[in-house]
Structure 1
């Protein structure tokens, strides 16, 4: 048969057409070409986006590898140590024979980032320790037979058939078997085997004999005679406790025949193992704890290396940055999702901003500015930052900027150079200010550099009260503390690639040399402290209120008139230097002309794409089905629902007209009336709006779907009513 008339008459399997081509989807290039403003530069913008994102992606992956290197190296050393102990027959001296070496890997709650870590771990294990590595997740191991099957399949690279006694496999498992059988009919695979650890032991012995055959050259992967068999549990907390316990008990019986090792991926706390496994099971494991860097440390490093640098011309405004950081801190703690948010902003910027053709390295940006068309120059004239720039010019210059395209191209090149200089000076100055203030009490300008960066993006930082408080605290630092902070600033300026930063470094190094030359400053300070404390000693004597007031006035007067020490003078000079540096280079990006070329500012678009609101989307779909189904019969002018709409849309619209409790009978009668009108029945007939079996079934299904979506629920107040859970609609 080539077709089936009913799903209840039988089950038919059709072999897939291997030659059939995959469905083609619109490419990213088409996204830039069609429906894109400034289509004349869409090709250039797409190339710039692609090149820039590839650089960011490469640097991000390299950075993630560097951050995970320490924890991954520790895990590799652990597996090598356990394997080496077994090889030298001193396993019993290290641990009991029934104990399975287990690494408890603490990864934190940033679950979306774990896949990348486990993938790197698996690759490193296969490259340098053992070829026998299997990773499993809880969602695919609901029962012990499923867990055993997944482990054997991924270790043996073959199709595993469950034991004959397991006849109660669920439908999903049957479908997987059918898919495996189908794959066998299309592509030849290894012979199917039964699901048991004894089969795995036999397979392992065969593999080790092959690799240890005399005269056969061994690879670096198989240099151990008996490499360990590593099983990685990616999400330990999500595993069924009974399944995990039974699996560990079974594995412990084979530990003398099979060099098993476990790696537990834990997101919460090490105590999870104690809560999930009783002592009789956990005592079979020799557990060693490994702690990875926190997700906030990962984010701080990513921000420092990828965002707060002039290396990449693309920038984010304060509001967009705040949205991305808020999503990170209050949703998933995922650095991976944070980087995806940056990618989305990058894509939107190059797609929606035609002048993003200038968002590239300085030489290429200057070249693109020369080739700007008249339409592109008109877009520059419409930029808010350029309008402010024109208003500050003389009348003759204003006419040239607004009328002469050649003159505007020359000015644009100068403004682009100024924009790149601004970024080269901004980030070193930001790092210097953070180095000085990040260790102050109560962190007036934030503990993390991203907090200071957000302040600088929103307002002039030197005009804030927190900045004034920080400067007052800096004026109270001792000589050694201040010198140490200034030396950190000198290191930052030393790595900067800017003429102004080099000039600032010369001044700062001159001040540091003066600090080191201060020898007699301590004696002056000591002398001043003695003159200051003399009124304090007088206060310790028995005195009346008049004498107390007189002594306090003398203390205030002495503080005003005392001679400042050389250290205090030099400290004031150093802080004044820092203050001038901040005021010269940390002004708002909005004040920089042509900042719109590099800065993406649509925070609402970022929030809409990344911070999903499923309830709002569902309500919009149920209220306006035409915009989702594109069926002309559903189109209405007054915002009402067409009687030809899907049943759930009709039920949803009717429930909006009800109060907190909805009478099911009245609701069904109204539903039947609307459906009858959609069927074209005569409103004056006796059967119009009458509930038959079909309408009743359709209504029950629509109500069940609404209950599943969370719009209504059953209530014990009235048995023939349901309670409404939402208010309002789209």
Structure 2
């Protein structure tokens, strides 16, 4: 029988086969947005391999730079630990006076880098000193109760590494639930340490731990802690210092004086403070630039403007070396993502293999490079035809160009270091005090054509002998690793200069001419004005025609030789064909990502919402009812003065919103509740963004806080 209603039927729908979700990898996201997807996988793998190598180098640098600081800190902990446990003469003087060993760790204003330093410190202490390391932050310790809870929770978490039986483990859990006090902490510490050193049990802690390890409490951001919380904690801890080997570490970003500003004299007298200074962030940056950018270990290079953007952000925003490294990582990713020929940005042996397998499209990409086109223009017509038509010939030339680019970098860096050795000792530092400033100048243009370089040569022509010889010796040390390469002849020439300067040790560098001395004697006798003028002119002419000494001649030869080196080896990268393969020069993209301009972004979003909302059609800045309410209110407020009448603003808003509604075409009709609510919400959002604020002059007005379009 047929059913008269759908509700009386029974329908069966077989479930369709579910498609398995394919998880996208990083390489898939990388290849998805490529303009030229050819060799996308190879480019991603090359990018990943290169950054892993650079990241490993930065981590090794971080360890080397912090090694001295951490060694001194561990030595301090060991000394305080031995003082605490000296049982031959009873309690030590420190224990009797209830002083808490405290390390004031001055890390600098680069707060974003402190987290990595504390993580490394915690790992080293856990490996070599003690498993009881507590890291505290001010936002987690608003009161003394919260501080003690955080302290005990982290310490009892550390006890999981020790070999405890079930009863003790149960006691630990009950302590965690019952109360958080220093007395319970001392009892817990005694049980844990006795159990860990018991001869019946094998020690499960690290072999580097001491027999009775101290409890290290690290205050990451001392400036942010409440003074009352710190004082209460120190006073309470000093009463238990004979039972608990407590050591405090203060992480300080500004100055050690902050300790005396936060703590009273009676509280600071309970601390035995020792100051530890970390390496400055500028020295850290100089090391990173030297090992990563001024090195031939990595094929990737930064353009002059890109490097200047990263350094400017470092110097004028955060002093963060970690953010500088993140900017370098972004540059690597952007280069391999946006440049199709970055597939050739690899080691020299691998590059030769990849050049042989270039496709026709990649050859066309090479032909469109600006540096390659400038090279083609200077060739004969026959060579031009072969370069533009024959891929096999182009591959041979490409391999030659990349090999020449590799040789260019091998010579560029040593000569740059030699030039820096000369310019860093000059007064006023015409080419910069740091080598990164000189590096940027050499990357952007021909440095020998600048006024700063000309003035530097003039200063070099006036160097004293000891300064000149010392600088030459430093240059010899720089060029020694390159003695078997192209710069070997340069090294021999510098060594010859040193030998010649050594031969001048017995000679007088400055001699007074006999005629000059006679003229001076004549000046003492003759007082006639005409004869005086004549004698002075003769002395001036004698100085002009005076023959330079041997030292002055050698100094001039050194200056000329250095000038020739600069002109031969420090030409900007733009002079090298196919430099785009290894150089990232998109400074605007990097600045857009790292140095955002929020006001311009807000104005663009509110004035032209179609730039962010693709569903809207661009109206060229005109007021339309389809735009978001906040955009309509924002454009209307731009037409007002310092004070904005809310009623007039509401009327204008309702007129724009209801332009397409025929029933509301009469402007005399009252505004409906929905439009009123939309207006209130838009004004509240503008107030939250900081464009308007309530005015005390008139209750029905708001004050405008911005002027101009953006």
Q: TM-score, normalised by structure 1?
A: 0.87
Cα deviations by residue, 1:305-352 (Å, 9 ceiling, x for unpaired)? 111122211111111111111000000000110111111011101110
Q: Does 2:413 correspond to 1:427?
A: yes
- Pick the aligned partner of 1:383 from 353, 358, 369: 369
Tell me whether 464-473 or 340-349 shows the greater mean CA deviation. 464-473
Give distance in 1, aligned partners of 2:129 and 2:261. Answer: 31
Contact kept? 1:425, 1:498, Cα under 8 Å: no
1:665 maps to 647
Tell me whether 75-84 or 149-158 shows the greater mean CA deviation. 149-158
- Decide whether aligned partners of structure 1 residues 520 and 199 sit closer, same or farther in structure 2, where only a CA change above 3 A counts: closer
Number of residue pairs aligned between Structure 1 and Structure 2? 674
Cα deviations by residue, 1:544-593 (Å, 9 ceiling, x for unpaired)? 54344334323332223323333222222222221111110011111111
Deviation at 1:472, TM superposition (A): 2.1
- Pick the aligned partner of 1:683 from 653, 661, 664: 664
Contact kept? 1:676, 1:689, Cα under 8 Å: no
Contact kept? 1:622, 1:649, Cα under 8 Å: yes
Q: Give the SS at the match of 2:487.
A: helix
- Pick the aligned partner of 2:71 from 67, 70, 73: 73
2:181 maps to 196
1:717 maps to 697
2:258 maps to 272
- Pick the aligned partner of 1:462 from 435, 448, 455: 448
Deviation at 1:222, TM superposition (A): 6.8
Q: Give the SS at the match of 2:663.
A: coil
Contact kept? 1:435, 1:488, Cα under 8 Å: yes
1:439 maps to 425
For structure 2, the residue ranges without an aligned partner over 5 or more in a row are 1-20, 160-172
Deviation at 1:541, TM superposition (A): 6.3
Deviation at 1:24, TM superposition (A): 9.2
2:486 maps to 500
Give distance in 2, aligned partners of 1:257 and 1:376. Answer: 73
Give distance in 2, aligned partners of 1:468 and 1:270. Answer: 45
Tell me whether 146-155 or 428-437 shows the greater mean CA deviation. 146-155
RMSD of aligned alpha carbons: 2.7
Q: Give the SS at the match of 2:192.
A: helix
Aligned residue runs from structure 1 range 351-500, under 5 A: 351-496=337-482, 499-500=485-486
Give distance in 1, aligned partners of 2:521 and 2:349. Answer: 69
Give distance in 1, aligned partners of 2:556 and 2:222. Answer: 57
Deviation at 1:502, TM superposition (A): 1.4
Contact kept? 1:521, 1:567, Cα under 8 Å: no
Give distance in 1, aligned partners of 2:638 and 2:96. Answer: 67
- Pick the aligned partner of 2:282 from 296, 319, 332: 296
Tell me whether 460-469 or 94-103 shows the greater mean CA deviation. 94-103
Contact kept? 1:424, 1:497, Cα under 8 Å: no
2:35 maps to 37
Q: Give the SS at the match of 2:210.
A: coil
Tell me whether 327-336 or 543-552 shows the greater mean CA deviation. 543-552
Contact kept? 1:310, 1:423, Cα under 8 Å: yes
Deviation at 1:629, TM superposition (A): 5.0
Cα deviations by residue, 1:109-151 (Å, 9 ceiling, x for unpaired)? 1111111111111111111111111111122222332222222
2:15 maps to none
Q: Give the SS at the match of 1:521.
A: coil
2:199 maps to 214
- Decide whether aligned partners of structure 1 residues 531 and 542 sit closer, same or farther in structure 2, where only a CA change above 3 A counts: closer
Deviation at 1:272, TM superposition (A): 1.1
1:184 maps to none
1:135 maps to 135
Give distance in 2, aligned partners of 1:222 and 1:327. Answer: 41
Q: Does 2:225 correspond to 1:258?
A: no
- Decide whether aligned partners of structure 1 residues 530 and 245 sit closer, same or farther in structure 2, where only a CA change above 3 A counts: farther
Give distance in 1, aligned partners of 2:107 and 2:524. Answer: 59
Give distance in 2, aligned partners of 1:667 and 1:706. Answer: 13
Contact kept? 1:105, 1:265, Cα under 8 Å: yes
Deviation at 1:79, TM superposition (A): 1.0
- Decide whether aligned partners of structure 1 residues 528 and 377 sit closer, same or farther in structure 2, where only a CA change above 3 A counts: farther
Q: Does 2:624 correspond to 1:649?
A: no
1:281 maps to 267
2:552 maps to 568
Contact kept? 2:658, 2:665, Cα under 8 Å: no
Give distance in 2, aligned partners of 1:586 and 1:114. Answer: 38
Tell me whether 366-375 or 528-537 shows the greater mean CA deviation. 528-537
Contact kept? 2:604, 2:611, Cα under 8 Å: no
1:552 maps to 536
Give distance in 2, aligned partners of 1:158 and 1:59. Answer: 31
Contact kept? 1:669, 1:691, Cα under 8 Å: no
- Decide whether aligned partners of structure 1 residues 697 and 580 sit closer, same or farther in structure 2, where only a CA change above 3 A counts: same
1:15 maps to none
2:101 maps to 101
Q: Give the SS at the match of 2:134.
A: strand
Give distance in 2, aligned partners of 1:467 and 1:503. Answer: 24
Contact kept? 2:624, 2:657, Cα under 8 Å: no
Deviation at 1:283, TM superposition (A): 1.8
Tell me whether 34-43 or 87-96 shows the greater mean CA deviation. 87-96
- Pick the aligned partner of 2:230 from 244, 250, 260: 244
2:60 maps to 62
2:16 maps to none
Deviation at 1:431, TM superposition (A): 0.1
2:11 maps to none
1:708 maps to 688
Deviation at 1:367, TM superposition (A): 1.8
Deviation at 1:246, TM superposition (A): 2.2
Give distance in 1, aligned partners of 2:652 and 2:411. Answer: 69
Aligned residue runs from structure 1 range 90-169, under 5 A: 92-94=92-94, 97-157=97-157
- Decide whether aligned partners of structure 1 residues 239 and 199 sit closer, same or farther in structure 2, where only a CA change above 3 A counts: same
Tell me whether 576-585 or 213-222 shows the greater mean CA deviation. 213-222
1:592 maps to 576
Q: Give the SS at the match of 2:482.
A: coil
- Pick the aligned partner of 1:320 from 306, 311, 318: 306
1:84 maps to 82
Cα deviations by residue, 1:508-527 (Å, 9 ceiling, x for unpaired)? 112222222335432xx344
For structure 1, the residue ranges without an aligned partner over 5 or more in a row are 1-22, 160-187
Tell me whether 55-64 or 232-241 shows the greater mean CA deviation. 232-241
- Decide whether aligned partners of structure 1 residues 397 and 537 sit closer, same or farther in structure 2, where only a CA change above 3 A counts: farther
Give distance in 1, aligned partners of 2:156 and 2:337. Answer: 47
Deviation at 1:235, TM superposition (A): 1.0
Q: TM-score, normalised by structure 2?
A: 0.89
Contact kept? 2:692, 2:703, Cα under 8 Å: yes
